[in-house]
Amino acid sequence: MRVQWAGLSPELLLTVDRSSGEQLRAQLERQLRDAIRTGRLREDERLPSSRELARSLGLSRGLVQDCYAQLQAEGYLVTRVGSATRVAPCAGPPAPPEPAPPAELPRLVADFRHGVPDLASFPRADWLWAIREAARRMPTADLDYGDPRGSLALRTVVAGYLRRVRAAAAAPAHILVCSGYAQGLGLALQALARTGVRAVAHEDPGSPATVTASVRAAGLTPVPVPVDAHGIDVRALDATGARVVIVTPAHQWPTGVVLAPERRRALLDWARRRDACVIEDDYDAEFRYDKEPVGVLQGLAADRVISIGTVSKSLAPALRIGWLLCPPALTAGLTELKRIADRGTPTLDQLALALLIESGRYDRHLRRMRTLYAARSKALRAALAAHAPAVRLTGLDAGFHAVAHLPGGAGEETVIAAARARGVGLYGMSACRAAPAPEPPRLVLGFGDVPERAITEGIAAVGDLLG
């Protein structure tokens, strides 16, 4: 894409050698011809003004004007009155052939993709306000690299928010701002690997693609542990010998179960007894509809739990802002790893998020989204009751996905392929298992980014396949 210069002269790297014996004008003409012939300067690209090029090279303006006039006469350049000097059409090498555009995928009636919030509801006006205010108030010193843990302003606000909303034992000194969940998990695993950990347990079903890749990238061995109706099986976890486990206790991904009180106690007892660490993914706990929210595990054992939170589900994944609540013993190591990784998450975005939370706009957005997702959850229940009454739904107490239990005889892959042919995107539970298995057949139906009308139309289109 050609750069549109806002009344300024573009820069161009050219050199002159006054000791070479070659005339300065000849050097300039030769370098410009070569730049155009090789494609370094493309058709219609703007050149610096004669005054600016002369100033940058220490030449007379008349010499540069004569050079431009000669190349214009040869057909390399074009000049119009009142306009900049540009590279002439067809002066350079032929443009490489454009790659064939990717084949357009058929438009879906509904795409029940999971893990994505309602992107159209991102509070653009509030975010723009926060960015402007943050830039206006930002001290000059904050434009430096700063603390690798993140802005003290955001860490203080997040600590207060998590204490208030998630019953966390949060202190700004032990919060590390990170670029989303993936980086937070990677840093946590690296820090634990330095303590001698070799195996990391994770929920099954869970997020094998993300978790397994992160565990292996840290040089560790992933160990799946089964999940049942009460959450992770702590006895099975104990039998693995692992000293780290990654869990989603508030709303297990993807089954949607909440870790039962007795399992919470057992898990923390295991951590103390084994001198182990729990990595808690607190990914969508803000969105509960039918029950009171449960607090984070970290609030019960701040020395044994690393809790990771982000705004990817509450605002949008594109923001790439998250945080770790670090056990005091690991804070220094995690901070050093973050400094090595990228020196810190962008400060202006952190200050904007801090303002969004402090001003109450963040809470207001969450209340609006709870209402929206509750309505979509209700629409999904109603659509399945009308068009596929044999399908049982679970996991709808929180978040914006549900698990559809297909009746016996329905194969996951067969249903998914047939639904895609009818313009509906469905996704199976087998992809969430450490060892993919199509039985029992289940679908993970995400409705965060699917409007109510599309939910109704999508389920109507595939109801006979599901039932």
CATH at residue 439: 3.90.1150.10
* Pairwise pLDDT comparison (425 vs 437), residue with the higher score: 425
- Are residues 278 and 210 both part of a single domain? yes
Average pLDDT over residues 72-76: 94
Of the two residues 23 and 79, the one the predictor is more confident about is 23
Domain residues for the domain of 185 are 124-359
102 falls within a domain:
no
Indicate the residue type of 128. Answer: L
Residues counted in the chain: 467
Which among 237, 243, 242, 239 has a CA at the least distance from the CA of 259? 237
Residue 5: its pLDDT value, please? 52
- Rounded to whole angstroms, the Cα distance separating 111 from 108 reads 6
Range scoring the smallest mean pLDDT among 19-33, 89-103, 158-172, 209-223 = 89-103
- Alpha carbon distance 211, 221 (integer Å): 11
> What pLDDT sits at residue 308?
97
Q: Determine what percent of the chain is predicted with pLDDT higher than 90.
A: 83
Domain annotation covers residue 5? no
Task: Determine the 3-state secondary structure of 220 from DSSP.
Answer: coil
**pLDDT of the residue at 222:** 97
- Percent share of the chain, pLDDT over 70: 97
Spatial distance between the Cα atoms of 373 and 217, rounded to a whole number of angstroms: 35
> Are 314 and 368 in contact, with CB atoms under 8 Å apart?
no
Residue 452: its pLDDT value, please? Answer: 97
pTM of the model: 0.89
Place of tokens 């303002």: 355
pLDDT for the residue 84: 86
Task: Work out whether strand 110-111 and strand 221-228 pair parallel, antiparallel, or are unpaired.
Answer: unpaired
Please indicate, yes or no, whether residues 290 and 418 belong to a single structural domain of this protein: no
Q: Are residues 143 and 281 in the same domain?
A: yes
pLDDT of 3 reads 52
Distance in angstroms (rounded) separating the CA atoms of residues 441 and 429 = 7
143 and 274 share one domain:
yes
Q: Which of 305, 335, 359 is the last residue of a domain?
A: 359
Q: Are residues 331 and 370 in the same domain?
A: no
Residues 155 and 149: their CA atoms lie apart, in Å, by 8
State the pLDDT confidence band at 436, using cuts at 50, 70 and 90. Answer: confident
Band (152; pLDDT cuts 50, 70, 90): very high
Task: State whether 404 and 346 are in the same domain.
Answer: no
Specify whether 413 is located in the same domain as 451. yes
On whether residue 100 sits in a domain, the answer given is no
**pLDDT tens digits for range 345-402:** 999 999 999 999 999 999 999 999 999 999 999 999 999 999 999 999 998 878 899 9
CA distances to 43, 90, 305 from 1, in Å: 11, 17, 48
**pLDDT of 6 strictly over 60:** no
- From 91-100, 123-132, 375-384, the region with the lowest mean pLDDT: 91-100
Mean pLDDT along residues 296-301 = 96
Q: How many domains does the chain contain in total?
A: 3
Q: Are residues 193 and 287 both part of a single domain? A: yes
Query: Which residues, including other chains, have CB under 8 Å from residue 51's CB and lie 6 or more apart?
Result: 61
For residue 12, being part of any structural domain is answered with no
**246 membership: H or E segment, kind and range:** strand 244-247
C-alpha to C-alpha distance for 327 and 195, rounded to whole angstroms: 13
Query: Is residue 95, in this structure, part of any structural domain at all?
Result: no
For helices 347-358 and 124-137, angle between their N-to-C axes, nearest 10 degrees: 110
DSSP conformation class of 406: P
Q: Where are the beta strands (DSSP E) in 105-145?
A: 110-111
Q: What angle do CA 180, 213, 400 make, to 5 degrees?
A: 50
pLDDT of residue 10: 87
Please tell me what DSSP assigns to residue 304. T
pLDDT in tens, 226-252: 999 999 999 999 999 999 999 999 989
Residue 9 lies in a domain: no
Q: Tell me the CATH number at 62.
A: 1.10.10.10
Cα(99)–Cα(150) distance, integer angstroms: 42
Among the ranges 1-10, 35-44, 325-334, which has the highest mean pLDDT value? 325-334
- The confidence score (pLDDT) of residue 90 equals 82
What is the average per-residue pLDDT within 310-318? 96
Task: Say yes or no: 289 and 376 in one domain.
Answer: no
Q: How confident is the model at residue 4 (pLDDT cuts 50, 70, 90)?
A: low
247 and 345 housed in the same domain? yes
The pLDDT value given to residue 443 = 96
292 and 400 in a single domain? The answer is no
| CATH classification of the domain holding 323 | 3.40.640.10
- Is 309 within the bounds of a domain? yes
Among the three residues 359, 387, 410, which one is the final residue of a domain in this structure? 359
Q: Which of 359, 383, 399 is the last residue of a domain?
A: 359
Of residues 93 and 166, which shows the higher confidence score? 166
Note whether 36 and 92 are within 8 A (CB).
yes
> Does residue 284 lie within any of the structural domains?
yes
177 and 72 within one domain:
no
